[in-house]
Amino acid sequence: GIQVEQSPPDLILQEGANSTLRCNFSDSVNNLQWFHQNPWGQLINLFYIPSGTKQNGRLSATTVATERYSLLYISSSQTTDSGVYFCAVELRSNYQLIWGAGTKLIIKP
Amino acid sequence: EPEVTQTPSHQVTQMGQEVILRCVPISNHLYFYWYRQILGQKVEFLVSFYNNEISEKSEIFDDQFSVERPDGSNFTLKIRSTKLEDSAMYFCASTSAARGSYEQYFGPGTRLTVT
């Protein structure tokens, strides 16, 4: 089956720093989503980005579908950005999302 | 903004008991899902549901699990006889597939603890 790999597994930064999180996938996908899991365990939708680039405030994401990777950029990090960031892909429309193992981000004040 | 809701937020049950986890998907959505996340691990797909029937299920979704849409708004996950290894966060999700968008929207989760 399709493999979804996220890197780095852990990232510790000072407040104000920028970061890039990567998601590689082993097959063509129909859908790709980025999520932030907060300390209470809730999954927050960040981006629905099967291809192209999107921006939302300090966050942006780029998916290069032909090369099977996606990047999540966080600029000017804040302590509230801490948590686990997951990438999830879908092979066909309206079917299961297959998840990466996540990147655990810790932002120190 | 419409959102997926789940109840209860936390459920504690004894091994062997039945539990029902409830979800209210976004009202105009047509596809519904359950996922689970064991503490510290990745999120895993359990089951998808469309047009009042299961469209896809994983190996995890064995005979102990069932799903139902009893009244056109709720979407439930039942575990008939809970085991210790069922302890996890359970997430409900839905999507509309409207205008070519298949984005899945997730509820806040139910934390199930089996003792």
Contact present, A94 and B102 (Cβ < 8 Å): yes
pLDDT tens-place string over residues B13-67: 999 999 999 999 998 898 999 999 999 899 999 999 998 999 999 999 999 999 9
- Count of A-B CB contacts under 8 Å: 57
Contacts of B40 in chain A (CB under 8 A): none
Query: A5 to each of A29, A86, B6, B105, how far by Cα in Å?
Result: 14, 10, 29, 22
**List of chain A residues whose C-beta atoms are within 8 Å of the C-beta of residue B44:** 99
DSSP state string for A26-89: SS--SEEEEEEE-TT--EEEEEE-SSEEEEETTEEEEEEGGGTEEEEEE-S--GGG-EEEEEEE
Amino acid at B114: V
Q: Hey, is the C-beta of A93 within 8 angstroms of any chain B C-beta? A: yes
Nearest partner of B33 among A99, A57, A3, A63, judged by Cα: A99
Q: What is the pLDDT of residues B53-108, one digit of tens each?
A: 999 999 999 999 999 998 878 999 999 999 999 999 999 999 987 666 688 999 99
| Residue B35 contacts A where some CB pair is shorter than 8 Å | yes
Distance set, CA A84 to CA A8, A21, A67, B106 (Å): 11, 11, 24, 16
Q: What is the pLDDT of residue B100?
A: 65
Query: Shortest CB distance from A94 goes to which of B35, B43, B95?
Result: B95
**Low pLDDT (below 50) residues in chain A:** none
pLDDT of A2: 86
